[in-house]
Structure 1
Amino acid sequence: MSVNLNNKKESWYMFKIGLVIAFSAVLAACSGGNGTKNGEALLTYGNEAPTLTQNPKQLDLLIFGGTAGVGLETVKLALARGHKVTSVSRRPERMTLEHDNLNNVKGDFVKSESYASFIEDKDAIISAIGVDASSEKITIYSEGMKNVLKAIGSNSSTQVVTITGIGAGDSKGHGGFFYDRIVNPFLLKEDYADKTRQEAILRSSQSRWTIVRPGFLTDEISETRYRVLLDMDGVQSGDISRADVSHFLLAVVEQGAYINETVFLSN
């Protein structure tokens, strides 16, 4: 009797996903949602959430992954603040917004030919893409960033902002026991391995970059009470809303702040 090893592997992986989801539900019911540093609340550590200025200069932004999650929240806020936005996604039909300043186009983060005609002279490029968890090697974050940097050129003044998360680079091990020992190694290992590669590519580039590592994402409204930390020493991540992450992204590109910095965001 022959055995389909690929099907067995996929079934085992789906079983692990089911376990993680079940444990996540229990954890969510018990967790407080606030991050800590050396066991103390983050309230007095790092920097306060930046303040958005009144009447900002109109920017021309390109956002990868603008049809859902943090990307969609960023598109909403950018349009509300008077900016021009080009949203590039593989499924632009998912976009729920219509606006005179919004150009909603089909494109693939990895395939620069699909967005090359839109990328020139942008004030900032924001990557908010995400992919489904997989047991196979993931390269979309690193390969896509290589192509974005090549497309904008080495002398560009464009600010490149990317969202990674807890588990990338030196943030590994700062998510708490359950996340660090179960969720990340069982479900997100390949995802964060590639996000780590993406961070390294940006740091070694000549571009104006900002790496943003949000804590555990929620759908709460923006309250702008989150903290911005540059040092992960002694930190355990808490929650942060997608709306608050978009608030930070807009503040960063409007002010030209946190250039060539890696920041962690958490309540």
Structure 2
Amino acid sequence: MKILVLGATGATGRLIVAKAIAQGHHVVALVRSKAKAAADLTGVELVEGDARDAAALTRAIAGCDAVVSSLGTAMSPFREVTLLSTATRALVGVMERQDIRRLVCITGLGAGDSRGHGGFFFDRLVLPLLLRKVYEDKNRQEDAIRGSTLDWTIVRPTVLNDKPARGSIEALTDLSGVHGGTIARADVADFVVQQLTADTWLRKTPLITW
């Protein structure tokens, strides 16, 4: 497959790119600067542009079969965050116009109906004090995807770590027993790439954790 990856230069995005290439996929990355991205992304077709710009997305997505969004944003306790939802709305529009169906998007534990399942520290302190603006935008991002006609999967990892992949994770939509958790970025990357060719979680929002 030919895959467009947004957020390819991030810590998780780089692992997604590497995993996709290892599985024989052709990867295109939309990046802000080709010069800066080239050192981190080898074997990748680089397209320079802003992920919020429909024209840049249209150039990058040409000939692609699927899209992975691993866009992220920094903590923003006070300023409004709009990057995720703005880029996602633009992406959905371009994908629908180009009739590119498959979208796998990473959001996180605390988005949508996974709110309240992060454990005491995350739910009572981290999310409301440091991540509230980010998660408000993640919710808007998820709403844009849910309202689309695409074949989507929204992946919600628990707290990310940089440990080696275990190769064995839990993927859940029944969160009744979930109160926090952690998962390696490498395992997230594996799961995300799997969803490009699997329908198990089509139009679902699996939370993934160890």
Superposition TM-score, scaled by structure 2 size = 0.93
Residue ranges of structure 2 left out of the alignment (5+ in a row): none
State the 1:107 CA deviation: 2.0
Task: Verify: 1:164 aligned to 2:107, yes or no.
Answer: yes
Distance 1:256 1:103, change over 3 A: farther
1:94 maps to what in 2? Answer: 37
Task: Verify: 1:64 aligned to 2:6, yes or no.
Answer: yes
Q: Which ranges of 4 or more aligned residues in structure 1 deviate by more than 3 Å?
A: none
State the 1:189 CA deviation: 0.3
Distance 1:156 1:257, change over 3 A: farther
**1:25-44 paired onto structure 2 within 5 Å:** none
2:26 maps to what in 1? Answer: 84
- Percent identity between matched residues is 35
**How far apart, in 2, do the equivalents of 1:129 and 1:157 lie?**
19
**How far apart, in 2, do the equivalents of 1:235 and 1:107 lie?**
38
**How far apart, in 2, do the equivalents of 1:60 and 1:147 lie?**
20
**1:141-160 paired onto structure 2 within 5 Å:** 141-153=84-96, 156-160=99-103
Distance 1:234 1:154, change over 3 A: farther
Task: Say whether the 8 Å CA contact 2:47–2:60 is kept in structure 1.
Answer: no
State the 1:157 CA deviation: 4.3
Q: 1:117 aligns with which of 22, 37, 59?
A: 59
Q: Secondary structure at the match of 1:153?
A: helix
Question: Which residue identity lines up with residue 180 of structure 2 in the other structure?
Answer: S
1:223 maps to what in 2? Answer: 166
Task: Verify: 1:199 aligned to 2:142, yes or no.
Answer: yes
State the 1:257 CA deviation: 3.7
**How far apart, in 2, do the equivalents of 1:207 and 1:240 lie?**
27
**How far apart, in 2, do the equivalents of 1:167 and 1:131 lie?**
15
**How far apart, in 2, do the equivalents of 1:158 and 1:107 lie?**
22
Task: Say whether the 8 Å CA contact 1:63–1:86 is kept in structure 2.
Answer: yes
Larger RCO, structure (CA 8 Å, separation 6 or more): 1
State the 1:163 CA deviation: 0.6
2:180 maps to what in 1? Answer: 237
**How far apart, in 2, do the equivalents of 1:167 and 1:191 lie?**
10
Deviations 1:81-122 (A, max 9, x none): 1110001122441342322xx102222221122231121342
Deviations 1:3-34 (A, max 9, x none): xxxxxxxxxxxxxxxxxxxxxxxxxxxxxxxx
* Number of aligned positions between the proteins: 207
More displaced 10-residue stretch of structure 1: 255-264 or 211-220: 255-264
Q: 2:74 aligns with which of 113, 132, 139?
A: 132
**How far apart, in 1, do the equivalents of 2:202 and 2:20 lie?**
19
Deviations 1:182-231 (A, max 9, x none): 11111100000010111111111111111000011011111111100012
Task: Say whether the 8 Å CA contact 2:158–2:209 is kept in structure 1.
Answer: yes
**How far apart, in 2, do the equivalents of 1:257 and 1:74 lie?**
19
Q: Secondary structure at the match of 2:195?
A: helix
Distance 1:76 1:107, change over 3 A: same
Task: Verify: 1:180 aligned to 2:123, yes or no.
Answer: yes
**How far apart, in 2, do the equivalents of 1:179 and 1:200 lie?**
23
Question: Which residue identity lines up with residue 154 of structure 2 in the other structure?
Answer: I
Task: Say whether the 8 Å CA contact 1:61–1:83 is kept in structure 2.
Answer: yes
Larger radius of gyration: 1
Question: Which residue identity lines up with residue 193 of structure 1 in the other structure?
Answer: E
